[in-house]
Chain A
Amino acid sequence: MSQQLLDILKSTFGDAVLETHSQHGDDTAVVAASRWAEIARFLRNDPRCDMDLFVDLCAVDYPRREPRFEVVLHIYSIGKKHRLRLKTRVGDQDGDGAELDTITSIWEGANWLERETYDMMGIVFRGHPDLRRILLYSEFVGHPLRKDYPADRTQPLVPYREGYEKVAPFGPNEGMSFGRQTHRTGKFE
């Protein structure tokens, strides 16, 4: 069933699908990082794929490889009952240049998981509406799930914060009283 999915991907995107395998029965496609969002959108919208359930997004660090990080997306189709693992590779040996297009506009659930991946692995998602750290605090130094982050590292002391942080992301009406707001409020309209 899902083998067809890999065939559809290969026939539609050709060279952009770098490799495929079905180890342990999990259909996997590795795609070019430059076409990540495009392929994800295709999988969501194409009626043959119809991957409507966003399952998981994470990254794996292989420090000796180039590109260094593997970003792994799991998606599922409720109607078609098939599952796919989509992977791509980004970043150089120093962990720089690990950038990828966001898929938050395709699946809303990607919002928090991209933030988590950024937090833990330092992968930057271009176009993400609110790329802040999520599990760790903003003053944290480094990205703990990278293999070169030592498990015994101590973090610097953070001075006591005064006052509130603003509710991010800061909208166009930030700080304006209601009477003078020119834009509609609320993030999801």
Chain B
Amino acid sequence: MEPLDLELDESELELPTEPMMLNVGPSHPAMHGTVRIVMELSGENILKADVQVGYLHRGFEKMCERGTWTQVFPYVDRCNYVSPMLNNVGFALAVEKMLGITVPERCQYYRVILGELARISDHLTCNGAMAMELGAFTPFLWMIKAREMVWDIMEEETGARLTHSFGRVGGMAKPPSDHFKDMVRATVPRILAIIAESEALLLRNRIFMDRLQGVGIISAKDALSLGWTGPCLRSTGVAYDIRKAHPYLVYDRFDFDVPVGTVGDNWDRFLVRLEEIRQSARIIQQAVEQMPDDGPINVEDPRIILPPKDEVYTTIEGTIQHFKIVMEGIKVPAGEAYSYIEAGNGELGFYLVSDGSGTPYRVRIRPPSFLITAGLERMIVGAMIPDVVPTFGSLNMIGGECDH
């Protein structure tokens, strides 16, 4: 009998191994949103990867050039459909920067509270979905239950659960409802209780830890060079939070911490997001206490804010004002401005160019997800196929934002 194992070194035979091509997505349960990853594999190791985005491209920037400044709000809603309120606030702040106006204090607090609620919902979705993709369905359902509470407040305030279109240049569409503060005060502790419950299921779970710890590591230097911001950058240890570094609205009046990671792996990203939910809750609690109960919510400028309806129907001035704002749009002085806020995923910037008319000349959105997804390729090359799912999940790619 011949021996079964061939002496490889002496044999001139070459093992017939060929790289295997694996295509994941664009429509795949683990690829939330629509993204396609083409991988070249040797066994289970990824040798090459090509991340392809753009399946959700809707021509956001082109569409914005065809309406008034106010008509952009529904579009920015749909850019990040997990925390649309932050996008609303971001765009409103950008136009206000060009106009050189500041909204009243009550509105600033209102924006902060709604924005932080949106951030909580964003982080809950990301962490919940990440747990679910690794087989932990219960925390996902619990976190979605908490997100549902956030959305109940949003629905009560704006009339829509998801795409609020609630921001306006120079204020908000409506003043806070009478029971807004009570709702927030009642809901935030319940959300925190759910978080504590869900993390008890995950943080000492061996399977969960093994799949996150030490996987998808990125250094701070690489993350900066890639243009990462937000929780993903902070997981590498860089404490860059726009709310602290360049406070906008009234963020400089709150006492909150910026959590950072140490290693920059999936585990750190998960923990940073969990902690940020708690910090957001802290900000909300302080803001609710400080927010004035009455006072104007919109700036008093008839060129920017629509007149009250009874004036529109009874006075000629009101009718003309209304007509001009609706038909011609708010006149933004010619020039350019870049305004940025800390959104759920990082720095959400708007680079606006105006030619002085009521229609934007150019609206450039700087979507944090796009730059973060650009780093996915280098993180999964050299890793194994099962690592792709938590790594991709921890980046929290939002398809609408990434693909404009």
User: A and B bound?
Assistant: yes
Contact of A55 among B42, B66, B366 (CB under 8 A): B366
Bound-complex Cα distance A61 to B275 (A): 43
- Complex: chain B residue closest to A146, CB-CB: B62
- The reply to whether B226 and A108 contact each other, CB–CB distance below 8 Å, is yes
- The reply to whether B59 and A144 contact each other, CB–CB distance below 8 Å, is yes
Total CB contacts across the A-B interface at under 8 A: 141
- The reply to whether A135 and B38 contact each other, CB–CB distance below 8 Å, is no
- The reply to whether A26 and B338 contact each other, CB–CB distance below 8 Å, is yes
Tell me whether B17 is interfacial, beta carbon within 8 Å. Answer: yes
Q: Main SS of the interface on chain A? A: loop
Q: Tell me which of B361, B374, B375 has the highest count of chain A C-beta atoms within 10 A of its own C-beta.
A: B374
In the bound complex, residues from chain A placing their C-beta under 8 Å from that of B97 are 24
Contact of B21 among A26, A112, A113, A164 (CB under 8 A): A164
- Complex: chain B residue closest to A61, CB-CB: B362
Q: Which of B51-72 contact A (CB under 8 A)?
A: 52-54, 57, 59, 61-63, 66
Q: Encode contact with A along B332-358: 1 for CB under 8 Å, 0 otherwise.
A: 000111101000000101010100000
Contact of A187 among B18, B21, B222, B381 (CB under 8 A): B381
Contact of B48 among A52, A144, A149, A167 (CB under 8 A): A167
In the bound complex, residues from chain A placing their C-beta under 8 Å from that of B336 are 23-24, 26, 28
Tell me whether A17 is interfacial, beta carbon within 8 Å. Answer: no
Question: How many whole Å from B169's CB to the nearest CB in chain A?
Answer: 15
In the bound complex, residues from chain B placing their C-beta under 8 Å from that of A187 are 48, 377-378, 381
Tell me whether B224 is interfacial, beta carbon within 8 Å. Answer: yes
Contact of A56 among B63, B349, B382 (CB under 8 A): B349
Known: A26-B338, A78-B238. A186 touches B47 (CB 8 A): yes
Contact of A151 among B62, B246, B351, B382 (CB under 8 A): B62
Q: Encode contact with B along A104-146: 1 for CB under 8 Å, 0 otherwise.
A: 0001110111001000100000000000011111000000110
Q: Which of B379-400 contact A (CB under 8 A)?
A: 381-382
Contact of B40 among A85, A165, A167, A180 (CB under 8 A): A167
Q: Encode contact with B along A157-168: 1 for CB under 8 Å, 0 otherwise.
A: 000000011011
In the bound complex, residues from chain B placing their C-beta under 8 Å from that of A107 are 225-227
B interface, how many residues as a size bin? Answer: 35 or more
Known: A135-B403, A145-B62, A167-B48. A177 touches B18 (CB 8 A): yes
Tell me whether A54 is interfacial, beta carbon within 8 Å. Answer: yes
Known: A109-B371, A135-B404. A145 touches B14 (CB 8 A): no
Known: A56-B366, A113-B371. A178 touches B42 (CB 8 A): yes
Contact of A112 among B14, B224, B364, B371 (CB under 8 A): B371
Q: Which of B277-309 contact A (CB under 8 A)?
A: none
Contact of A144 among B47, B62, B335 (CB under 8 A): B62
Tell me whether B245 is interfacial, beta carbon within 8 Å. Answer: yes
Q: Tell me which of A26, A74, A109 has the highest count of chain B C-beta atoms within 10 A of its own C-beta.
A: A109
- The reply to whether B19 and A135 contact each other, CB–CB distance below 8 Å, is no
- Complex: chain B residue closest to A119, CB-CB: B54
- The reply to whether B54 and A135 contact each other, CB–CB distance below 8 Å, is yes
Bound-complex Cα distance A159 to B191 (A): 51
Tell me whether B49 is interfacial, beta carbon within 8 Å. Answer: yes
Bound-complex Cα distance A107 to B245 (A): 22
- The reply to whether B49 and A23 contact each other, CB–CB distance below 8 Å, is no
Bound-complex Cα distance A97 to B336 (A): 25
Tell me whether B240 is interfacial, beta carbon within 8 Å. Answer: yes
List 10 tightest A-B contacts by C-beta distance, closest first. A109-B227, A135-B54, A54-B227, A112-B374, A56-B366, A24-B337, A167-B50, A109-B226, A135-B57, A179-B14
Q: What are 11 residue pairs bridging A and B, where the CB atoms are less than 8 Å apart in the complex?
A: A24-B337, A52-B221, A56-B351, A81-B246, A107-B227, A108-B374, A109-B374, A112-B374, A167-B48, A178-B18, A188-B381
**A residues adjacent to B (C-beta < 8 A):** 23-24, 26, 28, 52-56, 58, 60-61, 72, 74, 78, 81, 85, 107-109, 111-113, 116, 120, 133-137, 144-145, 149, 151, 164-165, 167-168, 171, 177-180, 185-188
